[in-house]
Amino acid sequence: MKGERESLALRRPSFAYRAARSGKSELFCEAVALESLAARHGTPLYVYSAAMIRARLDAFARAFRPIPHTLCYSVKANSTLAILRLVAGEGVGFDVVSGGELQRVFRASPKGAGKVVFSGVGKTAAELEFALRSGILLFNAESASELKLLSATAARLKKRAAIAIRVNPDVSAKTHPYISTGLHQHKFGVPIPEARTLYALAAQQPYLTVAGVSVHIGSQITNMGTFQEALGRVADLVRRLRRQGHDIRYVDAGGGLGISYEGAQGNFEEQIAAYARAVLTPLRGLNVHLLLEPGRAIVGAAGVLLARVLYRKTNRRKRFLIVDAGMNDLLRPSLYSAYHEIVSVRRKSHETEITDVVGPICETGDFFARDRKLPLVDEGDLLAILDVGAYGSVLGSNYNTRGRAAEVLVDGTRAKVIRRRESFEDQMRMENP
């Protein structure tokens, strides 16, 4: 096994072992000991590093400096209001996929509409109307029917809508099939030949302004060639549309940049530079304003989930650490067989064991690690599940009538509860016996 020190390299300096008050080595988030947060706020507990989120936004801005661009943070990755406020404070816009996400954005950034793009295959009439009234930057339309509804709604409200067609470039993202979106058998986007017809149609609508071309081929993509290929097809389409007289000002390159869940493999600066090259090379000379919709790359590595070991258990020779977090708190391992590194918050022993780490939920799929080599820990010890800042808390549920976990944002020496733990009464409030 890699030593825990080494395995944390990519999350430094935000997450690192340091000598705690006790003199023992403990995992910290910035200047705050995770053990102290767990003692104070209970577990399971999501903890985020503000410094890492700012650093990632900054790295994006630097990598894309050669081209006029707007970062539209993908709200779905982590939509807790305080995170959205932090992101908005850095001057960043948002990518939303529902009316609810748009409302969240306005709570966090009341005047933020001018930097919002609205994506998604199933926008309802009410959602389109809300976005139109708010005056967002761009609608990424995904079908002829959606375009028709948008045009009719815009005409009724006498509000102009700037549109891009989200094209489906038929490029394989080479990622998990559930989060791969760029092949024609996926529900997303419009194949490029059909998109050309839609642009011609849109240009005839009095309240639609053809403004861009959009693409998003999937998530957790680590093969940069796939971005380059998709953007190459987008660039060809932009040239063709311009020849036909369309004023294409924006290319929306979507999100999808993957992170290294398995520990130290290069550093983020190098990854983002390679990503920027892949996106920018095909757009060279095109003179467009680039929109980017990163989610995971901004917040993924900035969050950990703290869980306490409730019980140790051995069935024949198979070992289990039963922790107090479950698949309702963090679904990624169950849903995608996703790998998340797990470390012990206090470093007590150099001894290791091969064990499963599982939750209390009544499903065999309720696991965080299987046959994993981990340091030997006791009942009552605290574990940190790493890289859960994206698609962690947002995928939480009340399965088994468990309240959703609390969330804490650390900024230097300060730690703020940004979402309190959900109580039983919170859950009951919705029901009508």
- Told to check if 238 binds ligand LLP by CB under 6 A, we report no
Residue type, 236: D
d(CA 245, CA 111): 33
Q: Taking the complex as a whole, how short is the minimal distance between the CB of residue 255 and ligand LLP, in angstroms?
A: 3
Amino acid at position 182, single letter: G
Nearer to ligand LLP (CB atom), residue 179 or residue 248:
179
Chain residues 390-429 in contact with ligand LLP, contact rule CB under 6 A: 390-391
Q: Contacting ligand LLP (CB under 6 A), which of 30, 95, 146, 407?
A: 95
CB nearer ligand LLP, residue 64 or residue 391: 391
Region of 154-162, 199-207, 213-221, 362-370 interacting with ligand LLP (CB under 6 A) = 213-221
User: Does residue 356 bind ligand LLP (CB under 6 A)?
Assistant: no
219 near ligand LLP (CB under 6 A): yes
Among 11, 41, 123, 216, binds ligand LLP (CB under 6 A): 216
b/e burial code for range 300-338 (CB count within 10 A of at least 16 → b) = bbbbbbbbbbbebeeeeeebebbbbbbbbbbbbbbebeb
Residues 137-196 that bind ligand LLP (CB under 6 A): 179
User: To the nearest whole angstrom, how small is the minimum distance from the Cβ of residue 314 to ligand LLP?
Assistant: 31
362 is catalytic: yes
Among 169, 212, 282, 295, binds ligand LLP (CB under 6 A): 295
The token pair that represents 224 in the structure block: 């940069």
C-alpha 416: how far from chain center: 21
Stretch that binds ligand LLP, among 32-40, 252-260, 318-326, 352-360 (CB under 6 A): 252-260
Residue with smaller CB distance to ligand LLP, 88 or 221: 221
How many residues of this chain bind ligand LLP (CB under 6 A)?
22
* Position among 102, 213, 297, 383 found at the interface with ligand LLP (CB under 6 A): 297
Neighbours of 36 (CB within 10 A): 14
CB of 77 to ligand LLP, least distance (A): 5
| Minimum CB distance to ligand LLP, residue 225 (Å) | 17
Q: How far apart are CA 314 and CA 103, in angstroms?
A: 48
Beta carbon nearer to ligand LLP, 104 or 296: 296
From candidates 99, 294, 389, 396, binder to ligand LLP by CB under 6 A: 294
Work out how close the CB of 78 gets to ligand LLP at its nearest, in angstroms, rounded to a whole number: 9
Instruction: Establish if 254 lies at the interface with ligand LLP (CB under 6 A).
Output: yes
- Is residue 385 at the binding interface for ligand LLP, with CB under 6 A as the rule? no
Shortest distance (Å) from residue 25 CB to ligand LLP: 31
Residue in 110, 351, 362, 433 annotated catalytic: 362
Name the amino acid, one letter, at 271: Q
296, 340, 346, 402: residue in contact with ligand LLP (rule CB under 6 A): 296
Nearest distance, CB of residue 72 and ligand LLP, angstroms: 8
Which residues are catalytic, by number?
Answer: 362
Site residues for ligand LLP per CB under 6 A: 74, 76-77, 95, 119, 179, 216, 219-220, 254-257, 293-297, 332, 336, 390-391
